[in-house]
């Protein structure tokens, strides 16, 4: 599993990030369990209305084509802890 993480990171660096960076976005791995890769799009890609399509048609397609044992790629659409903390701070100032 650790070997797969190294391969996944390499694929993201070489094939996925350059595409996302063109749109001022990036990708973060949330988890890799039972051959399921959970990712979060960050930067400009995080709030994009096309985030699900980007995950399906770019990230998932590239990862699965590599045949490294990943069965699925899932987009985490939850709000980050950092963003929630910032929102709490802003609301507490009112």
**Cα–Cα distance for residue pair 29/16, rounded to 1 Å:** 12
The DSSP element (H or E) to which 27 belongs, if any, is strand 25-33
**In the prediction, which pLDDT does 85 show?**
77
**In the prediction, which pLDDT does 78 show?**
80
pLDDT digits (tens, 9 = 90+) for 32-78: 999 999 999 998 888 788 888 999 999 999 999 999 999 999 999 88
28 close to 42: Cβ distance less than 8 angstroms: yes
**In the prediction, which pLDDT does 36 show?**
96
Class of the CATH domain delimited by 2-92: alpha beta
- DSSP three-state, residue 83: helix
32 close to 3: Cβ distance less than 8 angstroms: no
**In the prediction, which pLDDT does 4 show?**
86
């Amino acid at each position: 599993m650790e070997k797969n993480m190294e391969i996944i990171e390499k694929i993201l660096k070489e094939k996925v990030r350059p595409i996302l960076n063109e749109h001022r976005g990036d990708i973060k791995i949330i988890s890799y369990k039972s051959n399921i890769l959970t990712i979060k799009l960050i930067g400009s890609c995080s709030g994009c209305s096309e985030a699900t399509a980007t995950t399906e048609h770019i990230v998932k397609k590239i990862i699965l084509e590599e045949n490294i044992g990943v069965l699925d790629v899932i987009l985490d659409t939850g709000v980050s802890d950092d963003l929630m903390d910032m929102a709490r701070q802003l609301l507490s100032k009112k």
